[in-house]
Amino acid sequence: MATVAPPLPTAAQDQRLRRIWETKPGLFGFFGTVDHKKIGKRYLVTSLVFLLLGGAEAAVMRLQLAHSNQHLVTPEQYNQLFTMHGVTMIFWYAAPVLSGFSNFLWPLLIGSRDMAFPRLNAYSYWTFLLSGLFLYSSVLVGQSPDGGWFAYVPLTGSAFSPGLNLDFYALALLFLTISATVGAINFIVTLFKLRAPGMSINRIPIFMWGTLTNSFSILFALPALSVACVMLYLDRRFGTHFFDAAAGGHPLLWQHLFWIFGHPWVYIVVLPAMGIVSDALPTFCRRPLVGYTAVALATVTTGILGFGVWVHHMFATGLPPLALSFFSAASFAITIPSAIAVFAWIATIWTGRPVIRTSFLFMAGFIVLFVIGGVSGVATAAASFDQQLTDTYFVVAHLHYVLIGINLFGVAAGVYYWFPKMTGRMLDERLGRWNFWTMFLGFNLGFFPMHISGLLGMPRRVYTYPAGLGWDTVNLITTVGAFLFAVGVLLLIANLVRSRLTGAAAGPNPWDGPTLEWAISSPPPPYNFAVIPTVGSRHPLWEDRLKEGARTVLAEGPTLDQEKTTLETSPLDAVLTDVLRMPEDSLYPVLHAVGLTAVFYGLLIRSTALSLVGGILVLALTIGWLWPARRELEAES
C-alpha cells in the first residue's frame, strides 16, 4: 500500500533544530526539561506505577474476601486499603494516564513543536507526582485515608476520624487539583492556538475532542471538589461547622459538592479513552471513522450532560421523588451519546477491513465492556431500582466495567498503538495476544460475578461477610478472576519492559496510520516536525487513497530553525496568526512544586512556620517564573 513518505530533515536542519530543542543532559536537564514528549512519558510511567499500587491494594482485599469470615487484615487495614485503592485509581491513575497520552501526542497530532505552556506542563507533572507521594507518605505513618473515596461526613470529620488519615485525603486532593487545573488550561489553549495551519477544528482527532471536553469539565467541576476539601479541612482543623448539623451545617452539602464534581469526573476519565479508540480503530479498519461529527458532538454533549446527573449518587438520601425523577431522567438521557459512539465503532469495523492486532483486540474488547458497563449504568439510573442497587457490589461491578473496561482497555489499546511512536520499537504481538486474553477473560471472570454478589444483597465496603448467605462462591470466583486479570496487567508491563529493550524497530508509520504523528520518525526528534505542515484534511497520510482531493503539505513550509519558536493559528480555522517564542528548560516548575509540597506538609502537621516558608518560596518562585527574561524585553523593543 502506498504511503506518503515522511519528509526527512536535512542533516544541517536537524542539527540546527536539535541545538534549539534538545534537553540538556545531566541533572538540570532531568529536572528542568519542558519537552512535552518526556513529560508525557513520565506521566504514563508514573500513572502506571500508581495503577500497580492500586492493584496491589485490590489484590489484598480480594484475598480477604475470597471466603467468608477471613482475618487476613484488620478492619482498620481493610478500610485504608479500599480507600487508597479507590483514591489511587480514580485520581492518580485514571486521569493522569490520559494526560500522559495527551501530553505526548497533542503537539504531534496538530503539527506543533510543543504545548502552549511548556513550563506549566512540566509543573503539572511535578505537582501530580508530588501530590501522589504526599498521599502515599500516609502509608509510612500508618494513617492512610480510610473514609472511602467519597469520604462522607460526618464519618470523616474530626469527631469520628481524629487521626491524620482524612487530612492526608483532603490536602492531597487539593494538591492534585492544582495539577489537573493547569493541565486542563494548557490543553485548551494548545488546542485552540497551536494547530498547524489548515487544521481547522473539524479536522482534529476525536481523542482531542475527548480531552478538550475533559479539560473544560475539569475547569468547571474540580472547584466543587476543592471547595468540599477546603471545608472538610477547615471543619477538621479549625472547628468550623460546614457539615455539622448541630450548628446549622449539613452533611448532605458534602455529598452535593462531591458528586457535582464526581460525576463529571467519570466522564473526565473515560472521554479521552473513548477518543483513543475512535482514532486508533479506523487505522486497523482501513477506513476513516464512521460519523466523525456525530461522535465529536456526542463527546461534547456527554461532558455537558455529565453536570446534570450528580443526584443519581444520592437516590437513597431521602430527597423528594420529584428531584429523583428529574435526575433519573437525565441519567437515562446521557446513555444516547454513548450509544452513538458504540455504533460508530461497530459501523467502522463492519464497513472497514479489520486488521487484527493486539491493539485492535483491546478495542473490540473495550466495546463489549463499554456496553456491559453502560447497561448496568442504565439499571442504576432507574431511581427506585437503584435504591436496591446503590452501595452494593452491583455498583462496584458497574464502576469497574466503566473504569477498567473503558479507561484501562482504551489505554492498553493506545499503548499498543503508540508505543512504537514513543520508543521506536514495536510491542511483541505474541505476548500481546496473551496479554489481551488474560486481561479480558480475567476481568470478566473477576468482575462479572460482582453483579451477582450485589444482586444477592452483598453491600460494598465490608471487610468480611458471614457464611451461609450464598456469597462465598461468587466471591471466590471474583478473587480468582481478579488474580488472572492481575497477571494480564503484569504481562502488559512485561511486554513494555521487554519490547523497550529488544523490540523490533518500528519505523515512522508501522500501522499505516493517517494522522500527523505518523509522518515523523519514531521516536520523534526533540523538535517534532522539521517543517511545520500545512494540513488539508482529517487524514493527511491517507489522502492519496481517500481520493477526496485534499492535499496536506508535509515537505515544505516554515522550518523555524533560528529560534525556539512554533506557529500560532486562529482558534477555529487555524489560519496562521503569529510565531510564538517557546520557553527554555527551567527549574522553576519543579522548585515551585516542591514549595507547594512544603505548604501542604505544613498544613498537615499544623506547622504554620513550614507553611509560611513554603508559601514565601512559592510566591518568590512565581514572580521569578513570570518575570520576563532580558531577551524577551529586548525582542519587544
Site for another protein contains 570 (CB under 8 A)? yes
- 3-class secondary structure, 534: strand
**Which listed residue (11, 12, 25, 318) binds another protein by CB under 8 A?**
318
Cell of 12: 544541517
- 3-class secondary structure, 294: helix
Among 55-63, 68-76, 131-139, 165-173, the segment contacting another protein (CB under 8 A): 68-76
Residues 71-90, interacting with another protein (CB under 8 A) = 74-76, 79
Site for another protein contains 406 (CB under 8 A)? no
Other residues' Cβ atoms within 10 Å of the Cβ of residue 376: 20
Residues 344-383, interacting with another protein (CB under 8 A) = 344, 346-354, 356, 364, 367-368, 371-372, 375-376, 378-379, 381-383
Q: Concatenate the DSSP letters of all residues of 198-217 into one string.
A: T--GGGS-HHHHHHHHHHHH
What's the burial of 580, exposed, middle or buried (CB within 10 Å: 0-12/13-18/19+)? Answer: middle
Residues 194-253, interacting with another protein (CB under 8 A) = 194, 219-224, 226-227, 230-231, 234-235, 238-242, 244-253
Q: Concatenate the DSSP letters of all residues of 128-166 into one string.
A: HHHHHHHHHHHHHTT----STTTT-TTTTSTTT--SSHH
How many secondary structure helices (H) and strands (E) does the chain include? Answer: 22, 2
**Secondary structure letter of residue 68 according to DSSP:** T
Helix, strand, coil percentages (3-state) for the chain, rounded to 5, are 70, 5, 30
**Which listed residue (52, 323, 431, 576) binds another protein by CB under 8 A?**
576
Among 99-107, 490-498, 516-524, 541-549, the segment contacting another protein (CB under 8 A): 541-549
Instruction: For 166-195, give one letter per residue: b (16+ CB within 10 A) or e.
Output: bbbbbbbbbbbbbbbbbbbbbbbbbbbbbb
Site for another protein contains 385 (CB under 8 A)? yes
Residues 39-58, interacting with another protein (CB under 8 A) = none
Site for another protein contains 579 (CB under 8 A)? yes
Q: Which residues contact 398 (CB under 8 A, 6 or more apart)?
A: 373, 376, 377, 379, 380, 451
**Which listed residue (474, 486, 519, 541) binds another protein by CB under 8 A?**
474
Least distance between another protein and beta carbon 493 (Å): 27
**Which listed residue (560, 574, 598, 621) binds another protein by CB under 8 A?**
560
d(CA 364, CA 274): 12
Site for another protein contains 413 (CB under 8 A)? no
Among 430-438, 461-469, 483-491, 500-508, the segment contacting another protein (CB under 8 A): 461-469
Least distance between another protein and beta carbon 328 (Å): 7
Least distance between another protein and beta carbon 50 (Å): 23
Among 123-131, 266-274, 577-585, 587-595, the segment contacting another protein (CB under 8 A): 577-585
How many amino acids of this chain bind another protein (CB under 8 A)?
153
d(CA 354, CA 340): 20
Site for another protein contains 12 (CB under 8 A)? no
Site for another protein contains 630 (CB under 8 A)? no
Least distance between another protein and beta carbon 424 (Å): 27
191 close to 210: Cβ distance less than 8 angstroms:
no
**Which listed residue (20, 49, 52, 155) binds another protein by CB under 8 A?**
155
In terms of CB distance, is 241 or 500 closer to another protein? 241
Least distance between another protein and beta carbon 142 (Å): 15
**Which listed residue (26, 27, 468, 609) binds another protein by CB under 8 A?**
468
In terms of CB distance, is 52 or 340 closer to another protein? 340
In terms of CB distance, is 29 or 568 closer to another protein? 568
Q: Between 163 and 192, how does the x/- string for binding to another protein read (CB under 8 A)?
A: ------------------x--xxx-xx--x
d(CA 19, CA 128): 30
Residues 481-540, interacting with another protein (CB under 8 A) = none
Strand duo 565-569 + 576-581: pairing: antiparallel
Site for another protein contains 547 (CB under 8 A)? yes
d(CA 493, CA 291): 34
**Which listed residue (301, 523, 581, 610) binds another protein by CB under 8 A?**
581
To 10 degrees, what angle do helices 358-381 and 335-351 make? 150
Nearest to 419 by CA among 30, 8, 3, 44: 44
Site for another protein contains 553 (CB under 8 A)? no
Site for another protein contains 300 (CB under 8 A)? no
Least distance between another protein and beta carbon 599 (Å): 14
Helix (H), strand (E), coil (C) string for 351-402: HCCCCCCHHHHHHHHHHHHHHHHHHHHHHHHCHHHHHHHCCEHHHHHHHHHH
d(CA 250, CA 239): 14
**Which listed residue (288, 405, 414, 533) binds another protein by CB under 8 A?**
288
Nearest to 65 by CA among 486, 478, 485: 478
Site for another protein contains 15 (CB under 8 A)? no
84 close to 182: Cβ distance less than 8 angstroms:
no
Site for another protein contains 629 (CB under 8 A)? no
